[in-house]
């Protein structure tokens, strides 16, 4: 065998060894928990959590757009059932960011603007069919995904379109970081944050003269801590919601499979099975070294998580919910009792989630999460996976608070 072939074989062997080591699974499972709470009191409040829904599948013939996206169709079905059960005032949804791929709502008229409005409109139509009201938390793609300095304007445009719908609200609004508090039912209070604001480099409201109640990282953290102390003293259950997770077993937490090194284009569209060995490892390796502020390895992302964890620790909420990684996960929390990742809202953009020592559930399927709050304050979490037909199928349930 020639020297060139030996070198090539050696390079491939080293690459394969590195991939295996880098993607080795964590073997320690989290302790199991009860699938249902002992209380059988009636469900009083229902909250759906659905993230990264901004690239819904579209019908080839220009037909029913909601029916073409299994996750949104399933949300419409499950949402209508929840409204019938508890009433429209006590059933709601929160979209966990990246509501419009690839880069929010552009200003210019044309195909990109039409596509963006169509994608947001499909989500709004699903809510109308369900009879749900909803809040949309911004994500990094809603801020333009760092592509230009127009991110703040893109977020505000999304807010205007949502406000015009009559069923949804951008929260926090106007590019402000929050926190924004929302009461839902008698026992639940949501605290909504725009975590993408923290990581955006361009122009944004961040000075004392802005219209935002908190306009610096320190002010946001202090306001969040104060809000949680007040909610804790009231006896209500707090659910903190943002786009970026505090813990995850997905790619943004630098959890990759060998599959991701060989088929890297599936991160763009799960149907792109184009093998790119060795070359496909460039992106995962770069991300391990902090190439993107959207990943756990980047210093700014680390600072964001440290600030939020410090604020939450003063009066830990029941749940911290986020999207960003495109799968369904439940993890035992540190700064909150539970971490929920529900970023599987677009059926063509699902990513793998590796189990960590804190993981109770992780599945790479399209779907969403639902919190059920019963009279007496017991809280159950349910994950729903969706079939191609858009049927919501319960895939996991857990009692978060007895």
Residue 12 above 50 pLDDT?
no
Higher pLDDT, 266 or 181: 181
Mean pLDDT of 118-131: 98
Provide the 10 A C-beta neighbour count for residue 229. Answer: 13
Instruction: Tell me the pLDDT tens digit for each residue of 169-214.
Output: 999 999 999 999 999 999 999 999 999 999 998 999 987 778 899 9
Rounded distance between C-alpha atoms, residue 78 and residue 287, angstroms: 37
CATH fold label, 38-401: Purple Acid Phosphatase; chain A, domain 2 (3.60.21)
- With a pLDDT cut of 90, the percent of the chain lying above it is 67
The verdict on whether omega for the bond into residue 137 sits within 30 degrees of 0, i.e. cis, is: no
Structural domain boundaries in the chain? 38-401
> E strands along 220-365, which residues?
237-241, 319-322, 328-332, 338-342, 359-363
| Sheet bearing 168-170, strands edge to edge | 168-170, 133-136, 91-95, 43-50, 367-374, 379-386, 392-401
- 3-state class (DSSP) for residue 395: strand
Token pair for 46 = 């229902």
Q: How would you label 345-376 residue by residue, b for 16+ Cβ within 10 Å and e otherwise?
A: bbbbbbbbbbbbebbbbbbbbbbbbbbbbbee
Rounded distance between C-alpha atoms, residue 402 and residue 253, angstroms: 30
Which segment of 131-140, 220-229, 245-254, 274-283 scores lowest on mean pLDDT?
Answer: 274-283
pTM score > 0.85 for this model?
yes
**Consecutive H or E run containing 263:** none
Instruction: Tell me the pLDDT tens digit for each residue of 289-299.
Output: 444 777 889 99
Mean pLDDT of 254-266: 55
Rounded distance between C-alpha atoms, residue 134 and residue 336, angstroms: 23
pLDDT band per the 50, 70, 90 thresholds, residue 96 = very high
Residue 230's contacts (CB-CB under 8 Å, 6 or more residues apart) are none
Task: Choose among 374, 48, 366, 315: nearest CA to 185.
Answer: 374
Token pair for 93 = 């949804």
| Residue listed under structure tokens 């349930």 | 397
């Amino acid at each position: 065998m020639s020297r060139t072939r030996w070198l090539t074989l050696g390079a491939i062997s080293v690459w394969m060894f590195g991939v295996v080591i880098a993607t080795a699974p964590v073997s320690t499972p989290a302790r199991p928990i009860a699938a249902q709470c002992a209380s059988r009191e009636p469900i009083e409040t229902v909250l759906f959590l659905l993230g990264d829904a901004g690239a819904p599948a579209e019908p080839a013939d220009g037909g029913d757009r909601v029916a073409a996206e299994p996750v949104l169709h399933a949300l419409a079905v499950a949402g209508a059932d929840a409204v019938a059960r508890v009433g429209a005032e006590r059933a709601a949804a929160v979209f966990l960011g990246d509501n419009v791929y690839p880069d929010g709502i552009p200003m210019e008229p044309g195909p990109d603007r039409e596509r963006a409005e169509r994608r947001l409109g499909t989500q709004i139509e699903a809510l109308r069919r369900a009879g749900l009201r909803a809040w949309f938390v911004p994500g990094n793609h809603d801020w333009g995904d760092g592509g230009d300095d127009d991110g703040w304007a893109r977020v505000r445009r999304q807010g205007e379109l949502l406000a015009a719908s009559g069923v949804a609200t951008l929260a926090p609004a106007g590019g402000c970081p929050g926190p924004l508090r929302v009461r839902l039912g008698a026992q639940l209070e949501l605290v909504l944050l725009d975590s993408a604001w923290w990581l955006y480099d361009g122009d944004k409201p961040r000075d004392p003269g802005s219209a935002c109640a908190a306009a610096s990282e320190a002010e946001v953290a202090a306001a969040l801590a104060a809000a949680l102390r007040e909610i804790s003293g009231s006896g209500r259950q707090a659910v903190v919601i943002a786009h970026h997770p505090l813990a995850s077993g997905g790619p943004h937490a630098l959890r990759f499979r060998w599959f991701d090194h060989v088929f890297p284009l599936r991160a763009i569209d799960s149907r792109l099975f184009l093998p790119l060995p060795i070359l496909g490892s460039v992106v995962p390796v770069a991300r391990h070294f902090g190439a993107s502020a959207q990943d756990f390895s980047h210093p700014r992302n680390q600072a964001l998580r440290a600030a939020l964890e410090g604020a939450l620790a003063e009066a830990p909420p029941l749940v911290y919910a986020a999207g960003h990684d495109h799968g369904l996960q439940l993890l035992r929390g540190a700064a909150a009792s539970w971490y929920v990742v529900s970023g599987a809202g677009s059926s063509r953009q699902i990513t793998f989630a590796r189990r960590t020592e804190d993981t109770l559930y992780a599945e790479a399927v399209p779907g969403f999460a639902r919190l059920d709050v019963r009279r007496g304050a017991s809280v159950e979490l349910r994950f729903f996976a969706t079939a191609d037909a858009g049927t919501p199928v319960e895939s996991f349930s857990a009692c978060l608070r007895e």
